Amino acid sequence: NGTSQSSSLCKTTSNTAKSSRKIVFVGLEIHAQISSNSKLFSGSQVQFAAPPNSLVSFFDASLPGTLPVLNRRCVEAAVMTGLALNCSINKKSLFDRKHYFYADLPAGYQITQQRVPIAVNGSLSYSLCIDSKMSQMVTKTVRIKQIQLEQDSGKSLHDDTRSQTLVDLNRAGVGLMEVVMEPDMCCGEEAAAAVRELQLILQTLGSSQAVMAEGQLRVDANVSVHHPGEPYGVRTEVKNINSIRFLAKAIDYEIQRQIEELENGGTILNETRAFDSKLGCTVPMRDKEGKQDYRFMPEPNLPPLILYDAKSLPANMNHQQVINIDWIHERLPDLPSVKRKKLVEQYGILPEHSFTLLNEEGLAEFFESVVKQTQMKPKKVIGWILKDLLSYLKQHSLTVKESPVSSFVLADLLNLLEKKEISSTAAKQVLAELWKGEGKTPLEIVKEQKLELLQDQKELEQICQAVIDGHKNEVMAIKAGNPKVLNKLIGLVQKKTQGRSNPVLVKQLLEKKLSG
């Protein structure tokens, strides 16, 4: 695959001045919890933070004699995800048992898809900024090796003081999609951008809520480093990464660590390392049982998973019993990349702005809603959305949904500005008032605080004259050929009018008076 080769060789990380160039490979294994009412093979509910062991069926607790029954919704979610990631969907996939003993794995094996997964050979395009000003973006592609359906495990809580282990099986058997990304990335930032894009895609599809903090998206990174022209380096696996920011940090740390280790004549061990977010470094994980042989075996209680397309769909088959790939394909929602393109084309905004709009849940919809309700040009609206709304929300750690100012109210305010009833300075003042969320309309605030633009030209002329009269030195400077000083006078007029004057008009008036 030519594309991927070039993308994996995209960047050679140089350590410090003395170090030689290295080629870095970063691959990812991502577990996304499927958004579904019930578990992958049982009817138990799926719910975050429910009381321990309250969502456990006989099957989940592996009571003898219980059998798995595949959840249709989970299969559909995996098919959707596979299609969105340009995978080929296997019309026939198989389930396998992966054996290991662990307290939160009640059956002693996990049902997964080792031999023939549901989707293979896909790709994911993601973009990232290549300069610090966030204005130049490049698009890269990572190959998706496969997507497999598998069961989640339960949770073990170790109480060291009492030397007890408590087991919560609520999560045991929840459906996961494991997305395996080929080592086509070469730094933390790329991996972070790829995961962020995947997260957006999953959320758009609704196939996973993909909230990392709630464990719905878990990312393990494989990192290896080698000299150009030499064989590939030994890879390490970095686990325990619970945010996208930490993902980038963990990978970059691991790359540096490996480079330094090699520079110092050391060797890299094929090991699993955990990221310690407090220390900002990776540390070797205590290997539970050394090398594991998972003793894979076909799951005998589940027949092969057969999927159909329009061509292969048997005519007299009950629709409830079959999954039609084409049917799902036709109903895929617009993916983030398409949405961004549409935003740029439709509203004339910058591509990087379209990224920001999609990065916050509900922000693009908020923007579009404001645009619909105002006469203001979208290009101008975007500034208010990104500079004012978004930075306020970020400062106060609010989501778009929680914004005290609705799109309707913001549109109202922007309309006042657009109709030149208030100045932009005044508009910011109104917005500051609106954040308090007291339920006042922009117009009410304008009236209360007397922020309307001075419509009376005579009054404005008088104020301008008074400013000119009171600032002889500045007037002389302007007349002597320093036009910049004019801005100071404009500012003074604004101050006198408490921002209620139209600066363009003030400028015209002052210029007229000074030239006279």
Partner 1 sequence: MLRASLRQVSAALKEGRVAPTELCQRCLALIKSTKFLNAYITVAEETAMKQAEESEERYKKGQPLGILDGIPIAVKDNFNTAGIETTCASNMLKGYISPYNATVVQKLLDQGAVLLGKTNLDEFAMGSGSTDGVFGPVRNPWSYSKQYKEKSGPKSHPEDEESNWVITGGSSGGSAAAVASFTCFAALGSDTGGSTRNPAAHCGVVGLKPTYGLISRHGLIPLVNSMDVPGILTRCVDDAAVLLGSLAGHDPKDSTTIQDDFMPFELHNLADVSKLSIGIPKEYHAPGLSSEMLALWSKAADLFKNAGAKVVEVSLPHTPYSIVCYHVLCTAEVASNMARFDGLEYGHRSDMKDSTESLYAATRREGFNDVVRGRILSGNYFLLKQNYEKYFVKAQKVRRLIANDFVKVFRSGVDILLTPTTLRDAAPYTEFIQEDNRTRSAQDDILTQAANMAGLPAISVPTALSERGLPVGLQFIGRSFQEKQLLTVAKWFEKQVQFPLIQLEEVKRHDSDVFQYQKSASFS
Minimum Å gap between C-beta 163 and partner 1 is 8
Q: Minimum Å distance from CB 319 to partner 1?
A: 14
> CA 92, 126, 214: angle at the middle one, nearest 5?
75
Cα-based torsion angle of the residue sequence 238, 242, 243, 245 in order, rounded to the nearest 10 degrees: -40
In whole angstroms, the minimum distance from the beta carbon of 99 to partner 1 comes to 6
Considering only 106, 122, 173, 378, the residue that binds partner 1 (CB under 8 A) is: 106
Which residues within the stretch 304-323 sit at the binding site for partner 1 (CB under 8 A)?
321
Interface mask (CB under 8 A) for partner 1, residues 2-41, using x and -? Answer: ----------------------------------------
Q: Give the nearest distance from C-beta 100 to partner 1 in angstroms.
A: 9
Element (H, E) at 76: helix 72-84
% helix / strand / coil in the chain, to the nearest 5? 40, 20, 40
Q: Output the smallest distance, CB 109 to partner 1, in A.
A: 6
In terms of CB distance, is 69 or 350 closer to partner 1? Answer: 69
Contact 175, 39 (CB under 8 A): yes
Specify whether the CB–CB gap between 180 and 69 falls below 8 A: no
Whose tokens are 């969105």? That residue is 84
Q: How many residues bind partner 1 (CB under 8 A)?
A: 31
State yes or no: residue 107 binds partner 1 (CB under 8 A): yes
Say which residues have a Cβ less than 8 Å from residue 387's Cβ, sequence separation at least 6.
Answer: none
Q: Least CB distance from residue 304 to partner 1, whole Å?
A: 11
Q: Least distance in Å: CB of 314 to partner 1?
A: 12
Instruction: Examine residue 303 and tell whether it contacts partner 1 (CB under 8 A).
Output: yes
Is 167 or 410 the residue whose CB approaches partner 1 more closely?
A: 167
- Nearest-approach distance from CB 167 to partner 1, in angstroms: 7
Distances from the Cα of 246 to the Cα of 192, 200, 219, angstroms: 9, 18, 10
Tokens of 61: 């607790």
CB closer to partner 1, 73 vs 513: 73
Residue 136's φ and ψ, nearest 5 degrees, are -115, 120
How far apart are alpha carbons 339 and 320 in whole angstroms? 32
**Residues of span 263-302 touching partner 1 by CB under 8 A:** 289, 293, 295-297, 300-302
- CB 222, min distance to partner 1, A: 20
Question: Site mask, partner 1, residues 407-426, x = CB under 8 A?
Answer: --------------------
* 161 lines the binding site for partner 1 (CB under 8 A): no
Residue list 326-385, contact with partner 1 (CB under 8 A): none
For residue 351 the two structure tokens come to 């591509």
Q: How many helices (H) and strands (E) does the chain have?
A: 17, 17
Contacting residue, 14, 88, 136, 165, with partner 1 by CB under 8 A: 165
* Residues in contact with partner 1, shown as a per-residue x/- string from 46 to 65 under the rule CB under 8 A: ------------x--xxxxx
The tokens for 459 are 């009054």
**Encoded amino acid at 236, one letter:** T
Per-residue burial over 423-439, b = 16 or more CB atoms within 10 Å of its CB, e = otherwise:
beebbbbbbebbeeeee
CA 257 to chain CA mean position, Å: 27
53 vs 424, beta carbon nearer partner 1: 53
State in angstroms the smallest separation of the CB of 295 from partner 1.
4
From residue 441, alpha-carbon distances to 63, 369, 421, 433, 437 in Å are: 61, 18, 15, 10, 10
Determine the Cα angle at 27 with ends 26 and 30, to 5°: 135
> Per the structure block, which two tokens stand in for 161?
């003081």
Binding-site string for partner 1 from residue 166 to residue 195, where x marks contact by CB under 8 A and - marks none = -x----------------------------
Contacting positions for partner 1 (CB under 8 A)? 58, 61-70, 97, 99, 101, 103, 106-109, 165, 167, 289, 293, 295-297, 300-303, 321
